[in-house]
Structure 1
Amino acid sequence: MLYYITGGERSGKSSYAQQLAESLSETPFYLATSRIWDEDFKKRVKRHQSDRDDRWTTIEEEKEISKVIPKKSVIVIDCVTLWLTNLYFDSNNNVEDSLKFAINEIEILAKLNSDIIIISNEIGMGVHAQTHIARKFTELQGWVNQSIAKKADKAVFMVSGLPLILK
């Protein structure tokens, strides 16, 4: 089963995903896709880690996420935005290469025999990006989000900590 949880920053996506995973398994996995870019982000990661108890197993993978999903598991992938940031940065801001890689990974995820809960940000609903690179990243994020939503069995949009069921 593929679950897709999206929403704005601090909308409650991670908490919702973790509660969902815990309702599906007593031993869920958490796939962290982020790089530690600065001290502020390091604090944010530590806060997320403290939200999970000893039932959770953490896996870290910045790019090839489909290769580290345990078979027949329940796993939260947190998050698509940070994963795409890694792909976009490492491809020298090449949208086409990043999109191709991401779509291929999503195709693989959709075929795995696991319950996969994918968290993503809906970044295109806010202020218009000021730089060309940021505008292109917003487009990349939007296209990847659409791809995940189409493949997902269930989709949820989080607003102010409340889930809005999309499908």
Structure 2
Amino acid sequence: MPQPPPRLTLVLGGARSGKSLHAEALIETCPAPWLYLATAQAWDDEMRDRIALHRERRPAGWITRDVPMDLPEAVAAATGPVLVDCLTLWLTNLILSEADVEAATEALLAACAGAPGPVVLVGNEVGLGIVPDNALARRFRDVAGRLHQRLARRADHVVFMVAGLPMIVKPQPGATS
């Protein structure tokens, strides 16, 4: 039987890299029910279809809460295993609503530290491409990079997904605990 994930896991990768499926598999090693904190907002039909496909593929045992803005509060209220998908959509929501991103980040870090069960966080790695040509996109890239760095420092386990394959970033291969 697979071991449950450690207290805090960060799963990063590019678009369609297998992040969500990997994160779901990690959480499903814990006894159900599993809490899925979804940060996406369905602004158009294409996004509504993406959200529906995500929900349909998950087996029974998942409880989904839509938390486009109130992610720290939802993590803090969790009573068992929780998956957050995804951090970068949450940041988009915060930035576009002109919310205090730093305060929200601090609240999320505190909520993750106090969570009673495993927390698996999913985020899109957006810093591997060219420098964006506009200020908003550069701000987003920078804020996402800083959030991922802060979470990775606190995480027990960090995975970078490439073409559906998990690359373990932390702990380092061969490291002893």
Structures share fold, TM-score greater than 0.5: yes
- Residue 6 of structure 1: aligned partner: 12
Instruction: Tell me if the contact between 2:10 and 2:157 (Cα under 8 Å) persists in the aligned partners.
Output: yes
Mapped to 2, the partners of 1:132 and 1:65 lie a distance apart of: 25
Aligned to 2:97: 90
1:101 aligns with 2:107: no
Partner of residue 58 from structure 1, selected from 58, 61, 64 = 64
Shift of 1:72: 3.7
Larger displacement relative to structure 2 (111-120 or 99-108): 99-108
Distance in 2, Cα, partners of 1:32 & 1:153: 22
Mapped to 1, the partners of 2:117 and 2:71 lie a distance apart of 13
* Separation in structure 2 between the aligned mates of residue 71 and residue 132 of structure 1, nearest angstrom: 36
User: What does 1:1-167 align with in structure 2 at a 5 Å threshold?
Assistant: 1-69=7-75, 70-91=77-98, 97-167=100-170
Q: CA RMSD in A?
A: 1.4
Greater helix share, structure number: 1
The gaps in structure 2 that reach 5 residues or longer are: 1-6, 171-177
What does the per-residue CA deviation read over 1:29-63, in whole Å, with 9 as the maximum and x for residues that have no partner?
11101111211111111111111122111111112
Identity across aligned pairs (percent)? 33
AA matched with 2:26: L
Q: Is the 8 A contact 1:103 1:147 kept in 2?
A: no
Q: Is the 8 A contact 1:13 1:119 kept in 2?
A: yes
Deviation, structure 1 residue 130: 1.8
Query: Could you tell me how far 1:112 is from its partner in structure 2?
Result: 1.8
Number of residue pairs matched by the alignment: 163
Offset of residue 111 of structure 1: 2.2
Q: TM-score when scaled to structure 1?
A: 0.91
Q: Is the 8 A contact 2:73 2:111 kept in 1?
A: no
Matches of 1:25 and 1:162, distance apart in 2: 24
- What residue identity is the alignment partner of 2:10? Y
1:117 aligned counterpart, secondary structure:
strand
What SS does the aligned partner of 1:35 have? coil
With 153-162 and 63-72 compared, the bigger mean Cα shift is at: 63-72
Contact 1:22 1:28 in 2 (8 A): yes
Moved over 6 A (4+): none
In structure 2, C-alpha distance between the alignment counterparts of 1:25 and 1:66, rounded to whole Å: 23
8 A Cα contact 2:72 2:107, kept in partner: no
- Give the whole-Å Cα distance in 2 for the aligned partners of 1:71 and 1:89: 26
